[in-house]
Amino acid sequence: MKLLDLYAKMKGDLNQIEQELERSVTDDHVLLSEASLHLLKAGGKRIRPIFVLLSGKFGDYRLDVMKRVAVPLELIHMASLVHDDVIDDAQTRRGQLTVKSKWDNRIAMYTGDFIHGKALTIAAQLPNPQIHLILSSALVQMCVGEMEQIRDFFNTEQTIRNYLLRIRRKTALLIAISCQLGAVASNTDRSISNSLYRYGYNVGMAFQIRDDLLDLYGTEKQIGKPPGSDMRQGNITLPVLLALKDPAIRDSLLSEIASIRELGGKRDTGRAIEMIRKSDGGEQADQLANRYVKKALQALEGLPNLTAKKNLIDIAHFVGKRNY
């Protein structure tokens, strides 16, 4: 099944989640509501709610319970985007003005805090305290990931392990717990929620590596912004780290990155991208993404053969496909 067909099939439940998302950030405080709704309406793939819903199918699926899990997870993701945009000084996201650029940094900071608070308020309505613990620990880990990203900006000496730890916290963890919590809230066996966690973690890793590859190998049309924006920001991703291991290009790539750093956004990243593309950094990163996809598929092996399992397999394959 194609991913679009999956969205079509899940449309009813996803629409209800969308309504709940809107309701959740609607507040008497007009500006906070407006800023949050602006962010919400800019869209997004709602991949975290989809993982919650599919994982919930392995247990006692109840949409009202699934909502209270899916909505906080999507909100936590949204809150991290608002705060990211402050850090990255981003003017647009998904073709829309960011909160920090439509309003200002102060409003973006409190909008993020507000969305965090709303997320936890909804989750707090679930009686299972294990869920609250998993969610709040994820918040902490995500912050650590963001700080690691700041620390590692333009650090060309960082190890691959550094990079992997960072994307684990920044991306994979929230996807992992989306899969896990859908199952936990549906009272599945622990072995099932653990398997789904592993699935989500590995899909999340593959997803972020693919996303980082896209920024270097995609066209502006595919990416929605000029290629190389990670590098301009100082975010040194896997293909770059792998390319730097190639002695034939290491020195010239290092000096290109140094001048990008010096000149900030004004420096064209075209030459650096060209060098990386000549190396086999992209190919190696691609292989690593595929290994994560394979591990994600393995994690599903012991699960009962429901349609939801088939859907999760399709998503993993989709994430695994080159999108550039």
Nearer residue to its own copies within complex by CB, 125 or 305: 125
- Single out the segment in contact with its own copies by CB under 8 A; choices: 9-17, 115-123, 187-195, 214-222: 115-123
| Residue from the set 110, 154, 318, 324 that interacts with its own copies by CB under 8 A | 110
Q: Which of residues 139-198 bind its own copies (CB under 8 A)?
A: 139-140, 142-144, 146-148, 150-151
Q: Does 248 bind its own copies (CB under 8 A)?
A: no
Count the alpha carbons within 13 Å of 4 in the hemisphere toward its beta carbon.
Answer: 0
Q: Which two tokens stand for residue 216?
A: 């270097």
Positions of E strands within the chain: 92-93, 96-97
121 binds its own copies (CB under 8 A): yes
> Per this entry, what is the length of the chain?
324
* 96 three-class SS: strand
Residue choice 65, 66, 107, 315 for contact with its own copies (CB under 8 A): 107
Using CA of residue 288, residue 293, residue 296, residue 297, what is the dihedral sign?
negative
CA-CA-CA-CA dihedral for 314, 237, 75, 222, to nearest 10: -60
d(CA 159, CA 68): 38
Q: Is 92 helix (H, G, I), strand (E, B) or coil?
A: strand
301 phi, psi to nearest 5 deg: -55, -40
- Pairwise CA distance, residues 213 & 174, whole Å: 20
Q: Does 126 interact with its own copies (rule: CB under 8 A)?
A: yes
CB of 118 vs its own copies, minimal distance in Å: 6
Q: Contacts with its own copies: how many residues (CB under 8 A)? A: 42
Within residues 24-43, the interface with its own copies by CB under 8 A covers 27-29, 31-32
DSSP code of 141? Answer: H
CB of 213 to its own copies, least distance (A): 26
d(C-alpha 90, C-alpha 193), whole Å: 36
- Does residue 67 bind its own copies (CB under 8 A)? no
Q: Which of 117, 226, 265, 304 binds its own copies (CB under 8 A)?
A: 117
The residues with which 22 forms a beta bridge, in sequence order, are none
Are residues 153 and 233 in contact, defined by beta-carbon separation less than 8 angstroms? yes
Q: Which of 127, 190, 221, 301 binds its own copies (CB under 8 A)?
A: 127
Closest contact distance (angstroms) between CB of 147 and its own copies is 5
Nearer to its own copies, 65 or 126 (CB): 126
Would you say 140 or 263 has its CB closer to its own copies? 140
Task: Examine residue 106 and tell whether it contacts its own copies (CB under 8 A).
Answer: yes
**End-to-end Cα spacing for the chain:** 21
Residues in contact with its own copies by the rule CB under 8 A: 27-29, 31-32, 83, 86-87, 105-107, 109-110, 112-114, 116-118, 120-121, 123-127, 129, 132-133, 135-137, 139-140, 142-144, 146-148, 150-151
